[in-house]
Amino acid sequence: MSNDNSSAVEACVFCQIAAGRIPSIRIYEDEDFIAFMDIAPQTEGHFLVVPRAHYETIADMPDSLLAKVMPLARKLGRAASDGLEIAGFNLLQNNGRVAGQEVDHWHLHLIPRRAPHEIPFKAGAPADLTRLPFVAEKIRTNIK
Ligand code: AMP
Protein backbone atom coordinates (compact mmCIF):
# COMPACT_ATOMS: atom_id res chain seq x y z
CA MET A 1 0.00 0.00 0.00
CA SER A 2 1.39 3.42 -0.92
CA ASN A 3 0.68 6.96 0.17
CA ASP A 4 -2.44 7.37 -2.00
CA ASN A 5 -4.53 5.92 0.87
CA SER A 6 -5.30 9.01 2.95
CA SER A 7 -7.13 7.30 5.83
CA ALA A 8 -4.19 4.94 6.36
CA VAL A 9 -1.84 7.92 6.33
CA GLU A 10 -3.97 9.76 8.90
CA ALA A 11 -3.90 6.70 11.16
CA CYS A 12 -0.19 6.04 10.68
CA VAL A 13 2.07 7.01 13.57
CA PHE A 14 5.14 7.35 11.34
CA CYS A 15 3.26 9.59 8.87
CA GLN A 16 2.28 11.72 11.85
CA ILE A 17 5.90 11.83 13.03
CA ALA A 18 7.09 12.73 9.51
CA ALA A 19 4.55 15.56 9.43
CA GLY A 20 5.70 16.79 12.84
CA ARG A 21 2.28 16.16 14.42
CA ILE A 22 3.67 13.56 16.84
CA PRO A 23 6.97 14.36 18.55
CA SER A 24 10.11 12.38 17.87
CA ILE A 25 13.79 12.74 18.65
CA ARG A 26 15.23 13.16 15.17
CA ILE A 27 18.78 12.46 14.23
CA TYR A 28 18.54 12.98 10.46
CA GLU A 29 16.27 14.20 7.70
CA ASP A 30 16.40 14.78 3.96
CA GLU A 31 13.79 15.14 1.24
CA ASP A 32 12.98 11.41 1.26
CA PHE A 33 13.76 10.07 4.75
CA ILE A 34 13.72 10.89 8.41
CA ALA A 35 15.55 9.00 11.15
CA PHE A 36 14.51 9.16 14.79
CA MET A 37 15.10 7.36 18.05
CA ASP A 38 13.00 4.25 18.72
CA ILE A 39 10.65 4.81 21.64
CA ALA A 40 11.21 1.25 22.93
CA PRO A 41 14.84 0.55 22.06
CA GLN A 42 16.30 -2.94 21.83
CA THR A 43 19.61 -1.41 22.88
CA GLU A 44 20.72 2.11 23.72
CA GLY A 45 20.86 4.20 20.54
CA HIS A 46 18.34 2.11 18.54
CA PHE A 47 16.81 4.30 15.83
CA LEU A 48 14.60 3.99 12.77
CA VAL A 49 15.08 5.15 9.18
CA VAL A 50 11.69 5.95 7.70
CA PRO A 51 10.57 7.26 4.29
CA ARG A 52 8.49 10.41 4.52
CA ALA A 53 5.92 8.83 2.19
CA HIS A 54 3.74 5.98 3.38
CA TYR A 55 4.62 2.52 2.06
CA GLU A 56 3.60 -0.51 4.04
CA THR A 57 6.20 -3.19 3.26
CA ILE A 58 9.25 -3.61 1.05
CA ALA A 59 6.92 -4.92 -1.66
CA ASP A 60 5.38 -1.43 -1.88
CA MET A 61 8.60 0.59 -1.74
CA PRO A 62 9.74 2.15 -5.03
CA ASP A 63 13.16 1.11 -6.33
CA SER A 64 14.26 4.76 -6.18
CA LEU A 65 13.86 4.86 -2.38
CA LEU A 66 15.30 1.40 -1.82
CA ALA A 67 18.37 2.47 -3.78
CA LYS A 68 18.87 5.38 -1.41
CA VAL A 69 18.24 3.65 1.88
CA MET A 70 21.33 1.44 2.14
CA PRO A 71 23.80 4.29 1.50
CA LEU A 72 21.89 6.24 4.14
CA ALA A 73 22.02 3.31 6.58
CA ARG A 74 25.77 3.13 6.03
CA LYS A 75 26.16 6.85 6.68
CA LEU A 76 24.04 6.74 9.86
CA GLY A 77 25.67 3.48 10.93
CA ARG A 78 29.08 5.16 10.72
CA ALA A 79 27.76 8.06 12.79
CA ALA A 80 26.37 5.66 15.40
CA SER A 81 29.60 3.65 15.44
CA ASP A 82 31.71 6.76 15.97
CA GLY A 83 29.34 8.67 18.25
CA LEU A 84 28.30 5.77 20.47
CA GLU A 85 31.62 3.94 20.24
CA ILE A 86 29.86 0.67 19.45
CA ALA A 87 31.55 -2.39 18.01
CA GLY A 88 28.75 -3.16 15.54
CA PHE A 89 25.07 -2.84 14.73
CA ASN A 90 22.19 -4.77 13.26
CA LEU A 91 20.02 -3.56 10.40
CA LEU A 92 16.56 -5.08 10.78
CA GLN A 93 13.54 -4.65 8.57
CA ASN A 94 10.28 -6.49 9.34
CA ASN A 95 7.67 -7.20 6.67
CA GLY A 96 4.27 -8.44 7.80
CA ARG A 97 2.77 -9.13 11.20
CA VAL A 98 4.14 -12.68 11.29
CA ALA A 99 7.63 -11.21 10.87
CA GLY A 100 7.13 -8.82 13.78
CA GLN A 101 6.05 -5.72 11.88
CA GLU A 102 3.97 -3.62 14.26
CA VAL A 103 3.95 -0.29 12.41
CA ASP A 104 2.62 -0.58 8.86
CA HIS A 105 4.88 2.12 7.43
CA TRP A 106 8.12 0.76 5.99
CA HIS A 107 11.12 1.32 8.27
CA LEU A 108 14.63 0.10 8.82
CA HIS A 109 15.90 -0.46 12.35
CA LEU A 110 19.49 0.35 13.23
CA ILE A 111 20.30 -1.40 16.50
CA PRO A 112 23.66 -0.69 18.12
CA ARG A 113 25.45 -3.76 19.49
CA ARG A 114 27.86 -3.86 22.36
CA ALA A 115 27.77 -7.52 23.34
CA PRO A 116 26.98 -10.76 21.48
CA HIS A 117 23.98 -11.90 23.50
CA GLU A 118 22.19 -8.68 24.45
CA ILE A 119 19.39 -9.47 21.97
CA PRO A 120 18.04 -13.04 21.95
CA PHE A 121 18.63 -13.84 18.27
CA LYS A 122 18.88 -17.65 18.19
CA ALA A 123 21.21 -19.59 15.94
CA GLY A 124 19.26 -21.72 13.46
CA ALA A 125 19.06 -25.50 13.62
CA PRO A 126 21.10 -27.34 10.99
CA ALA A 127 19.21 -27.50 7.67
CA ASP A 128 17.55 -30.69 6.45
CA LEU A 129 19.78 -31.27 3.41
CA THR A 130 17.23 -33.53 1.72
CA ARG A 131 14.69 -30.71 1.79
CA LEU A 132 16.91 -27.66 1.19
CA PRO A 133 17.14 -27.99 -2.64
CA PHE A 134 13.34 -28.18 -2.95
CA VAL A 135 12.82 -25.15 -0.74
CA ALA A 136 15.43 -23.26 -2.79
CA GLU A 137 13.67 -24.28 -6.01
CA LYS A 138 10.35 -22.83 -4.78
CA ILE A 139 12.05 -19.46 -4.43
CA ARG A 140 14.24 -19.69 -7.53
CA THR A 141 11.33 -20.43 -9.86
CA ASN A 142 9.41 -17.40 -8.60
CA ILE A 143 12.08 -14.75 -9.14
CA LYS A 144 10.55 -12.13 -11.46
P1 AMP B 1 8.35 -3.02 13.83
O2 AMP B 1 8.02 -4.07 14.86
O3 AMP B 1 9.44 -3.44 12.88
O4 AMP B 1 7.10 -2.54 13.12
O5 AMP B 1 8.96 -1.82 14.63
C6 AMP B 1 8.22 -0.72 15.05
C7 AMP B 1 9.12 0.08 15.97
O8 AMP B 1 8.58 1.37 16.08
C9 AMP B 1 9.24 -0.50 17.37
O10 AMP B 1 10.61 -0.73 17.68
C11 AMP B 1 8.62 0.58 18.25
O12 AMP B 1 9.27 0.71 19.49
C13 AMP B 1 8.80 1.82 17.39
N14 AMP B 1 7.84 2.90 17.62
C15 AMP B 1 6.50 2.81 17.64
N16 AMP B 1 5.95 4.01 17.88
C17 AMP B 1 6.98 4.91 17.96
C18 AMP B 1 7.07 6.30 18.19
N19 AMP B 1 5.99 7.06 18.37
N20 AMP B 1 8.29 6.86 18.25
C21 AMP B 1 9.41 6.11 18.07
N22 AMP B 1 9.38 4.79 17.84
C23 AMP B 1 8.19 4.18 17.80
Burial of 18 (0-12, 13-18, 19+ CB in 10 A): buried
- Residue 117's pLDDT is 87
Determine whether the shortest distance from the Cβ of 95 to ligand 1 is under 6 A.
Answer: no
38 lines ligand 1 (CB under 6 A): yes
**How large is the average pLDDT for residues 25-31?**
98
Q: How many angstroms is it from 114 CA to the middle of ligand 1?
A: 21
Q: Residue 57: CB within 6 Å of ligand 1?
A: no
Q: In what order do the strands lie in the sheet with 33-37?
A: 26-29, 33-37, 47-51, 108-113, 88-92
What is the CA 120 to chain-centroid distance, rounded?
18
Report whether residue 100 contacts ligand 1, using a CB cutoff of 6 Å. Answer: yes
Minimum-distance ligand 1 atom for the alpha carbon of 37: 21
pLDDT mean across residues, the chain: 94
* Mutation probe of ligand 1 site: the residue of 102, 104, 110, 111 with most atoms within 8 A of C-beta: 102
Q: In the predicted model, is pLDDT for residue 5 greater than 60?
A: no
Q: Is 117 a catalytic residue?
A: no
pLDDT of residue 18: 98
The atom number, within ligand 1, closest to the CA of 36 reads: 21
- Considering the candidates 54, 105, 107, 109, report the single residue annotated as catalytic: 107
pTM of model > 0.85: yes
Cα–Cα distance measured from residue 125 to residue 143, given in angstroms and rounded to the nearest whole number: 26
- Which of 108, 47, 115 is closest to 83 using CA atoms? 47
Average pLDDT over residues 53-58: 98
Please give the pLDDT value at position 141. Answer: 97
